[in-house]
A and B are shown apart, each in its own frame.
Chain A
């Protein structure tokens, strides 16, 4: 499983375009909000938590539909399934790989997007934490969604339909945490709730993904 995660990371390092495009997408969407609602700083700061979360999740969705696609096409997914590794472990490794190659870069790009959106600087740390948790939640649900839609017609359209509703709680608590931090309140309870969702999803969603991978 460690080898699989390592392989994901090496693949991402050799093809940095995917990671880069997700990060660029995130920053660009965040930069679109000021044009949409006008550059008034107070309004932007009010919108920032939700806008950050929503654009980060959309950006993290981008590479998901190819998560298993390439491997299913060249047959290495079948090899992996035959390797004796539990399918759930494969899915978990993939989710971890997705988070490392998409979630962490998004977290690193958060200050840029936060500056665009005029988020108070005291809230940046919480914003990075909250985005890290939210993207991890999206990674595990997304791995399950990608496994489910593997081989489906219009799989790329189906995937957001399946994954985004499940990510709503992450958006609610993630944005609440950033908002609390921005207005000088305690962000900890919201972050803990977000972490609780991750703690619940991280062991369960790979099971579903593994069952879907074994599927046929």
Chain B
């Protein structure tokens, strides 16, 4: 009966104002129906202007030259890969504690996007590494831990979809996501713990960021744009998944009715 909760959320009558309000897939669909065009429009606007700013207007770096422009994609992707995984972990906690069907669906749809973002982070990084470090890949601590993060995303994608019972898949994926959280601090602090090739953090520091505003501002603008796009894609995918489950529930109901009808006919004839 895994399709039962899609009809309406398992709501507690006494608590309509809590977070559980958003657990109702119907309300989720109505709300996101209004938000999504705005979100997608804002993402397009910010990202479009960010790309122009970063690729055409921002000055080349005095050391890295034009290759610094790769950073305008690489850094937001890296932040999104980690932030997205944190989001996945939060969704997993919600799914394990409150058995929240919408959290399951969102986690399921978030994981492929997160895997794609992490892959882009790795690819742009290695494209940048070739002219700057002289190699596409080194087994540096940061690179290795991000590669592990990528495998965790892929593992989640594969595990969630490997079960016939989607609820069990969601449960297993949530546990895996929580196990993988140990990797997040390793990714974050790998550049401080091991003194290898990847440079330490230059934006998120306690003192001022170690880069000029001409580069910093377009970077932050691009990050905002990519984050908006990330959220828009995940929301759209989750909406599609909710609707898909509804369609399946309707089809199952129709099939059951079709199944029942001939049986009664046969019964009548006999």
Contacts and interface: CB of A to CB of B under 8 A. Distances in A.
Contacts of A155: 162
Contact of A148 (B144, B167, B172): B172
Contact of A151 (B168, B175, B176, B179): B168
Interface in A5-38: none
Interface in B151-167: 151-152, 154-155, 158-159, 162-165, 167
A12 B265 CA distance: 57
Given A158-B158, A165-B148, A215-B171, A148 B165 contact: no
A156 to B, nearest CB: 11
Interface in A191-208: 204-205, 208
A74 interface: no
A19 to B, nearest CB: 27
Give the dominant DSSP class at B's interface: helix
A165 B162 contact: no
Interface string B133-151: 0000000000010011001
Contacts, number: 59
B237 interface: no
A94 to B, nearest CB: 16
Contacts of A153: 162-164
Contact of A205 (B147, B158, B179): B179
A190 to B, nearest CB: 14
Nearest to A150: B172
A148 B164 contact: no
Interface of A: 144, 148-149, 151-155, 158, 161-162, 164-166, 168, 204-205, 208, 211-212, 215-216
Given A149-B172, A153-B162, 4 more contacts: A161-B158, A166-B179, A212-B172, A215-B172
